[in-house]
Structure 1
């Protein structure tokens, strides 16, 4: 590989880190590992634990395996002392990174030396000496097309004077109504040009940075919410009704600690669905809150950060106003927002094609996850999450909405969900919240359920009770087209999730059984395991169905299906009812889908290991190359997937249900936020395929 790109700017506050992160993310979709290099690290890094926060952000990405020290060139002080010697050291340190053969994202300096007009010239020299083309990032805030075109021309000339080359131009922080004319103007420079609109969240400071600016102390609240961004300040020096009128989303409220009525009122407003969620309360003046108020706050389980400072009101507001927000690894909302912006407004694939970064033949877990997200974003579907009051679901919803993976409906009590979201510091405002007690929908769902199940003796009154269950309610939304798919199971059993789908959605034609697969993401490939979650002891006919469904699922997610029907014997080496079942199932698969590559009975080692395959089944087109592994029973499948997951550090994505007319997927009750995000993306992709079938 060895491709590199130098992300540079000609001034400060361009949002260069957003672009660098976007390029890194795009690279990680094609290759297993990406390297990062920072030629000049920031001199003010001490405020971030002695580390350059941009470099810290980039090396925290899953695709980067280098340590912080390996990615550092020199400091500003070293450049000032001897620019030529510093350049020599930069080149030497870069070569140590580039020699690994991974694509390298190089991030230029940040213009801390505001009074040094030659800073870009030095970056141009560095880029030329590293042999890296420059991706120029411009600050488009308040600027028009002609201004940015002129700046590009000047920069291109400076690059040429230093023997560097311009690779592409991205105008960042652009006014939304100027995107198209700016792209048109920049495209005249004969390089790819893009424009990204201003996003206030990215320049909003984190509460932790505000707290540091006033030497604050966390008096109450969840420390994790210190990473939340503050979108502005409200100085609460007026009466309580006037304070409430001035609250806005993400505001940090400043009030004297001897105004307990303001503190209590703002905390109540934050917990109410009728007022915006704020980010923090700063208590200034050096006063202590009365003990009765502290007891009251503790008793209601407050999570909102209450921060004490000894500064007065004016000094506090001045210090907080001066803090500028930064994109750091501790700001997950900013990271997800930045990645979504880059994906939406920059053709990342075209940039990499221009860099001539070839796609790796390996597929890492991270690359597979990117594939899922990209496919879901390309055609957004509507997914219902019945467990809307669960913390992991709310955190996942925040990520899904920011990345544009799907439109979401959360089931549950609106007041409870809003309060819980406020307490967690997550933004779910773009989601629809529906109560399972909704009378209009409940009556509609009950009538439909009664129609579908009256042959089973279900009366209308009984149906009204049934559809209030969140799993039935969510499934009815899918059945009636109010949602394209459903994901549940983080706090419910598999049976609770699947039973409504079996009763209401039902199976596809020619499919006799609903089954499941796990995508097993190994170090450099993705395999499909089925069925590891649903059917305890399938018959030969059901096993054939599982194999055909699993092969179709594999193909739908870009995995060429080569199916291994697993047994404790290979070929004709063994006998017994279990082997005969697998042998019969294999014959059924071959009869029903003659073009499908399938082998069975076959042992796992012969299916996965080419050396073993040469000994046991040398003529097989599947042995040693299998991608879809069909287990003879649930006991074998469930234990095997867990053994591989733990022993090989594999990422197991699933279970993914297959065979239903519309997608419904089950979560493990131990599912992480990342698991939920992946499962929703998979469900959205299945919904795309369902829509394709219906068309």
Structure 2
């Protein structure tokens, strides 16, 4: 039977999208098929549904998630009564729910709905759907006592209407009032109550939202600039020296278009990092001359300069009502929202109250969630050598927001800080004893210590102390030595460096772990409905039979550690005894070695790819095999085959390839593709943290 959870508010402005997003995160960790249903919807695209669909790769169409439009519902109620409206919505819900294991129901939004007694309507719908209810109460502008009273009243209202209330959330409570509200609510209701403080970064509009709201023209700026949050508005009218002192970090400068001095001054201040601004909005439809605009483009590349037709007063009036929104176009806000939810909600307790039965199959979404959860459960410290790279900085913000691990970024601190500010990222203060540090290898006191270590390790290669002093200033070597010396638990690099530049230092100073003859790699290939492990697609060009067996055994251990049941297929162009030749014989010998060394492992080889993964083919070619047709680990005979196959599957099947994940090192160092996305970096850092946990357990 489908289990559903109904998220409902009691009025406007509760920011319940944070709770809906957080709950969807929990649901997709537990089951594969999660659906979304909004009983009553406004006309046009549903931004929350589009966010959920994109982030969680839902196959559901917008029409498939919708009950009725508000206008249609009001007409139906007026013509045929509330019971007919409820009946229609219940029928529609069951049509949707039939296709899913669990459904997240998004309640009405109390905004121009033309429906009376909206709370009662939500409660009745939840009961008719058989859904548990999670009410969200707005704490905006209220003191702690008022928040407590609102939560109690809301619980009483839903419970008295027969709803199964599983928990309560008070959202957007001021930071000053939140601790008192938490204390006052503890133990006073029969269900858990969680208090989420106001998060300014969520309510801050982006520059792109201002463009849309004002119909402004973008004169300068790129997509990254348009994605910046606006934390303040500064209206320019004074002379330049006075104006500069009024600038604040992340502000949008609003000034008449004929004030070229203020435009240039604001952008020059941004370029100097004192302070970085979100952009410039020119009013009155005026714009500076070509020479000024050319200078502006050189001063702060990518920083938005906009033009609006209205005057400053009219513009200020229109801007006063703009508030940030969670949409598919604001992925950074989604990460901030999840970080807020996970920091203040006991997700384990909430998951238990939802009472989902988890299946055995590991889907790609579950795999990613497990990574984050396992990394967070035993927090580690990972060094990221490419500290000024945009994707790395964005990933760092996600990792810190979601409390995945502690981080060290390598690079000049001033440059890193300026780059983060330009991107509008909200990173904690550097080097304050918290979760983030920035270290410059060139000036760090550790450089001398690392030079001594490296010179000693490489003395047999003729490396002098002077040469070592130069080598360890390289970010890849410096980061690797941090891991060796126990100053970090693992390293992730490669977004802007080659694979060789990332893993060569590891070979030189970390070396292989006991029991491993070689260092190899795997990719976790997240397909539409399962996670497969591919090895070795990144390190060893042409392994011999013994090395191939080692790769298979290492890959089985890695797969099992990350929740993938190991069933190993050693691949060849021949299946079973159907072919001969040196390449087939190598795979056959490797298979026998695995069976002899690890009789507990399920392994098949030589076997062709189709027979390894497709049950119907396996039934013909190897009907008695317990691996054929069900393989989860695919070991390729050489790098040429493996690398091309993983890229073909990645591009043609739309798979998410996480890796390469290195195995066989004493301590974890992992490489990134130079085309890695932010989420790829987040996943790889989480994997590295989990590897570090495992190696400490072994030690």
Query: Is this a same-fold pair by TM over 0.5?
Result: yes
Match for residue 407 of structure 1?
406
Match for residue 281 of structure 1?
280
Say yes or no: does 1:452 pair with 2:457: yes
Q: For residues 293 and 306 of structure 2, what CA distance do their matches in structure 1 show?
A: 13
Question: Cα gap change, 1:183/1:333 in structure 2, threshold over 3 Å: closer, same or farther?
Answer: farther
The structural deviation recorded for 1:117 is 7.1
SS at match of 2:167: strand
Q: For residues 435 and 120 of structure 1, what CA distance do their matches in structure 2 show?
A: 56
Q: For residues 597 and 398 of structure 2, what CA distance do their matches in structure 1 show?
A: 42
Q: For residues 614 and 292 of structure 1, what CA distance do their matches in structure 2 show?
A: 73
SS at match of 1:189: coil
Contact 2:271–2:300 (Cα < 8 Å) also in 1: no
Q: For residues 74 and 574 of structure 1, what CA distance do their matches in structure 2 show?
A: 61
Match for residue 69 of structure 1?
63
Question: Cα gap change, 1:474/1:237 in structure 2, threshold over 3 Å: closer, same or farther?
Answer: same
Deviates more, 1:480-489 or 1:452-461: 480-489
The structural deviation recorded for 1:301 is 5.4
Structure 1 runs not aligned, ≥5 long: none
Q: For residues 184 and 598 of structure 1, what CA distance do their matches in structure 2 show?
A: 58
Match for residue 622 of structure 1?
627
Question: Cα gap change, 1:282/1:644 in structure 2, threshold over 3 Å: closer, same or farther?
Answer: closer
Question: Cα gap change, 1:66/1:557 in structure 2, threshold over 3 Å: closer, same or farther?
Answer: same
Q: For residues 646 and 209 of structure 1, what CA distance do their matches in structure 2 show?
A: 33
Contact 1:5–1:106 (Cα < 8 Å) also in 2: yes
Contact 1:205–1:326 (Cα < 8 Å) also in 2: yes
Q: For residues 9 and 73 of structure 2, what CA distance do their matches in structure 1 show?
A: 18
Q: Identify which of 553, 562, 565 aligns with 2:567.
A: 562
Q: For residues 301 and 583 of structure 2, what CA distance do their matches in structure 1 show?
A: 58
Contact 1:145–1:186 (Cα < 8 Å) also in 2: no
Deviates more, 1:625-634 or 1:456-465: 625-634
SS at match of 2:529: coil
Deviations 1:562-584 (A, max 9, x none): 22333344455554443443344
Question: Cα gap change, 1:58/1:522 in structure 2, threshold over 3 Å: closer, same or farther?
Answer: closer
Match for residue 313 of structure 1?
312
Match for residue 433 of structure 2?
none
Match for residue 11 of structure 2?
11
The structural deviation recorded for 1:75 is 3.3
Q: For residues 444 and 103 of structure 2, what CA distance do their matches in structure 1 show?
A: 57
Deviations 1:640-674 (A, max 9, x none): 33343344433222111111111111122232233
The structural deviation recorded for 1:230 is 1.3
The structural deviation recorded for 1:415 is 4.5
Contact 1:254–1:283 (Cα < 8 Å) also in 2: yes
Q: For residues 272 and 403 of structure 2, what CA distance do their matches in structure 1 show?
A: 27
Deviations 1:605-628 (A, max 9, x none): 443344554555555443443322
Contact 1:383–1:409 (Cα < 8 Å) also in 2: yes
The structural deviation recorded for 1:135 is 0.8
Aligned residues: 687
Say yes or no: does 1:519 pair with 2:518: no
Match for residue 660 of structure 2?
655
Residues 39-188 of structure 1: pairs in structure 2 closer than 5 A: 39-42=39-42, 50-83=44-77, 84=82, 85-113=84-112, 118-143=117-142, 147-160=146-159, 162-176=161-175, 178-179=178-179, 182=182, 185=185, 187-188=187-188
The structural deviation recorded for 1:222 is 1.7
Match for residue 328 of structure 2?
329
Match for residue 499 of structure 1?
504
Contact 1:411–1:434 (Cα < 8 Å) also in 2: yes
Q: For residues 54 and 637 of structure 2, what CA distance do their matches in structure 1 show?
A: 41
Structure 2 runs not aligned, ≥5 long: 430-435
Match for residue 292 of structure 1?
291
Contact 2:205–2:322 (Cα < 8 Å) also in 1: yes
Deviates more, 1:307-316 or 1:100-109: 307-316
Deviations 1:393-417 (A, max 9, x none): 3333333333333333333344444
SS at match of 2:297: helix
SS at match of 1:281: strand
Q: Identify which of 536, 542, 547 aligns with 2:547.
A: 542
Deviations 1:75-96 (A, max 9, x none): 3334444532543433333232
Question: Cα gap change, 1:268/1:471 in structure 2, threshold over 3 Å: closer, same or farther?
Answer: same
SS at match of 2:303: coil
Q: For residues 249 and 645 of structure 2, what CA distance do their matches in structure 1 show?
A: 48
SS at match of 1:27: helix
Match for residue 388 of structure 2?
389
SS at match of 1:167: coil
The structural deviation recorded for 1:55 is 3.5
Deviates more, 1:19-28 or 1:254-263: 254-263
SS at match of 2:188: helix
Normalised TM-score (structure 1): 0.91
Q: For residues 239 and 379 of structure 2, what CA distance do their matches in structure 1 show?
A: 46
Normalised TM-score (structure 2): 0.90
Question: Cα gap change, 1:650/1:258 in structure 2, threshold over 3 Å: closer, same or farther?
Answer: closer
Deviations 1:117-151 (A, max 9, x none): 72212222222232322210012345466544543
Deviates more, 1:249-258 or 1:582-591: 582-591
Question: Cα gap change, 1:316/1:564 in structure 2, threshold over 3 Å: closer, same or farther?
Answer: same
Match for residue 465 of structure 1?
470
